[in-house]
Amino acid sequence: MILVTGSTGHVGNVLVRELVIKGETVRAVALPGEDTSMIEQERVEILHGDIRDREFVVRACEGIDTVYHLAALISIMPNMKKRVRSVNVGGTENVIHACKVQRVGRMVYTSSIHAFTELEPGSMIDENVPFNPARTSGVYGKSKAEAVLSVLTAAREGLDAVVLCPTGIIGPFDYKLSEMGNMIRLFASGKLRVGIDGSFYFVDVRDVVSSEIAASKVAKPGEVYILGGERVTIQELTDMLHRITGRKKTYTFLKSTSAYVLSALSTLYYMISKTKACFTPYTVHTLTRNYKYSHKKATKLLGHNPRKVSESLRDAVEWLSRYGTIKLR
């Protein structure tokens, strides 16, 4: 049996579905009260609980061969530090402990590209770049870096564990609205009038899942793999969304200084209105670093073969439209 934490997330629900298609039996961990409609199917046992509860995680890992640890709190808001760390670091340490206690065959930990040490803007990031929470920006990035170090330490001590670091994830089946899904929703509703003069690497959720499954079978213990995709500027991204949705183009793209000022005001608005954030100082920081992310290692050893961003965006928009999250003209 396979355990998937974070099973209702974007990657998680796609992974559960793909594992079932491949004939696997899955135990899917979800928070109490969470919407599990996307993963309710045959050969899926849904287990409600919190990965911050160590005893619950140990019970969840009983009889498990492979653990895909995806559960994380992804927040770009500055007021979430304590909760983000308790989930991303404490939860991961609980999963490591449970894998040892229950003698799980393999742990596949999904981290983030933001966990790597930050270099000079425009630098190449590959698996040779170290992890150091002190040299990583943002609450989320620091927590993921700390969690990676815990996993790699456990691997050196004998745990069969591998680490995967995806770049920005896009694609269909985003029913809970990820950060990118929220951006698509805003654009499709005509509310994304201003962008950032920057770029990022985006990868399709389905390609991430394919490489997750490959890693569970062929990756070497203790290894790290970047699951990257295609680099696009934010202007190119919004132009693609314009062609797909028929909505007006975004014409204004702010340089970093102006973007930081506006993002600070936007963050205050998000905190007061309790709406989902899209434009924060951390967003500006991330998009204006303009890093290059290499996925050569994952391509060579895992068969990672990311599709074009334009295809992923089109499929994401079509799925969100069918699901009722957005309305197309």
Q: What is the mean pLDDT of residues 107-135?
A: 97
Grade residue 282 by pLDDT with cuts at 50, 70 and 90. Answer: confident
**Bridge partners, 194 (sequence order):** 252
Count: domains in the chain: 1
pLDDT over 90 (residue 192): no
Q: What is the pLDDT of residue 72?
A: 94
Grade residue 233 by pLDDT with cuts at 50, 70 and 90. Answer: very high
CATH number of the CATH domain containing 72: 3.40.50.720
Grade residue 272 by pLDDT with cuts at 50, 70 and 90. Answer: low
Q: What is the pLDDT of residue 255?
A: 84
Helices first, then strands: H and E counts in the chain: 12, 14
Owning domain of residue 48:
2-176+201-229
Grade residue 74 by pLDDT with cuts at 50, 70 and 90. Answer: confident
Q: What is the mean pLDDT of residues 208-229?
A: 97
Look at residue 134 and tell me if it is in a domain.
Answer: yes
**pLDDT digit string (tens) for 158-184?**
999 999 999 999 999 999 999 899 999
pLDDT over 60 (residue 269): no
pLDDT over 90 (residue 322): yes
Distance CA 159, CA 257 (A): 45
Look at residue 184 and tell me if it is in a domain.
Answer: no
Q: What is the pLDDT of residue 70?
A: 98
**pLDDT digit string (tens) for 81-99?**
889 999 999 999 999 999 9
Q: Report the phi/psi class of residue 167: left, alpha or beta, with left for phi > 0 and alpha for psi in -120 to 50.
A: beta
pLDDT over 90 (residue 1): yes
Could you say which DSSP state residue 39 is in?
A: G
Grade residue 268 by pLDDT with cuts at 50, 70 and 90. Answer: low
Q: What is the mean pLDDT of residues 67-84?
A: 82
Grade residue 276 by pLDDT with cuts at 50, 70 and 90. Answer: low
Contacts 24+ apart (CB under 8 A), 43-51: 44/16, 44/20, 45/1, 46/7, 51/5, 51/87, 51/91, 51/94, 51/95
Look at residue 241 and tell me if it is in a domain.
Answer: no
pLDDT over 70 (residue 277): no
Which has the minimum average pLDDT: 25-39, 42-56, 98-112, 246-260? 246-260
Could you say which DSSP state residue 142 is in?
A: H
What lies within 8 Å, CB to CB, of 324 at 6+ separation is: none
What is the pTM assigned to this prediction? Answer: 0.94
Percentage of the chain exceeding pLDDT 70: 93
Look at residue 247 and tell me if it is in a domain.
Answer: no
Q: Which of 3-12, 242-251, 252-261, 269-278 has the highest mean pLDDT?
A: 3-12
Q: What is the pLDDT of residue 127?
A: 98
Look at residue 205 and tell me if it is in a domain.
Answer: yes
Look at residue 242 and tell me if it is in a domain.
Answer: no
Residue 135 has a CB neighbour count (10 Å cut-off) of 14
Look at residue 133 and tell me if it is in a domain.
Answer: yes
Distance CA 172, CA 184 (A): 11
Look at residue 159 and tell me if it is in a domain.
Answer: yes
pLDDT over 80 (residue 48): yes
What DSSP line would sit under 96-133, residue for residue? HHHHHHTT-SEEEEE--GGGBPP-STT-EE-TTS-B-G
60 vs 277, residue with greater confidence:
60
